[in-house]
Amino acid sequence: MAGVSASEPTYAKSVPGASQGYAEWEAAGLRWLGEATAQGGARVVGVRDVAPDRLLLDRLTPAPPSVAAAEEFGAGLAATHLTGAPAWGAAPPGWEGEGWFGPASDPLPLEVGEWSTWGELYAVRLASLTRLAVDGGELTTAEAAEVDALGEHCAAGDFDTSDTPARIHGDLWSGNVMWTPDGVVLIDPAAHGGHREADLAMLDLFGAPHLDRVHAAYRDAAPLDDGWEERVGLHQLYPVLVHAVLFGGGYAGQAMRLVRALGS
């Protein structure tokens, strides 16, 4: 990793043993999201260099979360989303092949490409995870059939909104939201053309500081379609199923509760 002064503060993120292309995938996502920062979008950690087994990133200094930073982040996230993407499921520009979602040590493939609607994209992703969960013994075939039925409703457009493809972080849980003296900085994305409600639902899934202020600032900048509260569980289903596949435990039960709530 040449071209970086030894005096510049950097952080080397090691991804030994990660799936081929994972480091490059993450770097592509960071750069794509970073392009939106100049248009008022959320801050993103800078990429200095990338190699197959590691990333060299700007070093971030932690700071306590604040209401002001939360509100700035909410508005910035809205601006990032509104810079858009060329299609539902679109990968960052220049990326070829499948994407990745989950921890660098054991990521799962993330389908990327071009779909005509968000529901069609989501149905494909749910079906892929359901097969993995059945193969790993986390879901029964009967439970998988319930997820598949929900996927059919998605593919039919039952949950589509007026949104166009957004430029989303894709893995926006609180651990990927870094609070610094300059405000929030995003790390570790699975960036693609997706539904902006997915990023907000992911923040809700595990909680985040001053989340109510993040939401309020976001909706002031970019109002959501009516009924967004009822769709939170739908968008959380994908990451919960990922957790079921990777970690087992109670995540499968949580996923099925989300599925049945959406069908009630």
pLDDT tens-place string over residues 202-255:
999 999 999 999 999 999 999 999 999 999 999 999 999 999 999 998 999 999
Question: What Rg do the C-alpha atoms of the chain give, in angstroms?
Answer: 18
What's the rounded mean pLDDT across residues 173-186? Answer: 97
In a domain, 95, yes or no: yes
Residue 197 lies in a domain: yes
- Tell me the pLDDT band of 263, cut-offs 50, 70 and 90: confident
Taken in order 110, 246, 198, 147, the sign of the CA dihedral is positive
Mean pLDDT of 124-153: 97
User: In this structure, what CATH number is given to the domain that contains residue 67?
Assistant: 3.90.1200.10
In the residue annotation, 160 being an active-site residue is answered as no
Tell me the sheet residues that pair with 88: 115
* Predicted confidence (pLDDT) at residue 178 exceeds the cutoff of 70: yes
How many whole angstroms separate alpha carbon 30 and alpha carbon 25?
Answer: 9
Query: Is residue 176 scored above 70 in pLDDT?
Result: yes
Say if CB 186 and CB 169 are below 8 A apart: yes
Q: Is residue 36 part of a domain?
A: no
Q: Does residue 3 surpass a pLDDT of 50?
A: no
Whether 12 maps to a domain, the answer reads no
Is there a domain that residue 189 lies in?
A: yes
Q: What is the pLDDT of residues 12-29, one digit of tens each?
A: 998 876 677 999 999 999
Residue 19 domain flag: no
Question: How high is the mean pLDDT of the chain?
Answer: 94
pTM (2 decimals)?
A: 0.94
Residue-wise pLDDT tens digits, 232-241: 999 999 999 9
44-52: average pLDDT? 95
Total domains present in the chain: 1
- 202 and 238 in contact (C-beta within 8 Å)? no
Catalytic pick among 171, 188, 199, 204: 171
- Residue 114 sits in which domain range? 62-263
Work out the pLDDT band at 188, boundaries 50, 70, 90: very high
- Assess if residue 69 is contained within a domain: yes
Sequence-distant (6+) residues with CB within 8 A of 250 are none
Contact 160, 117 (CB under 8 A): yes
**Residue 43 in domain:** no
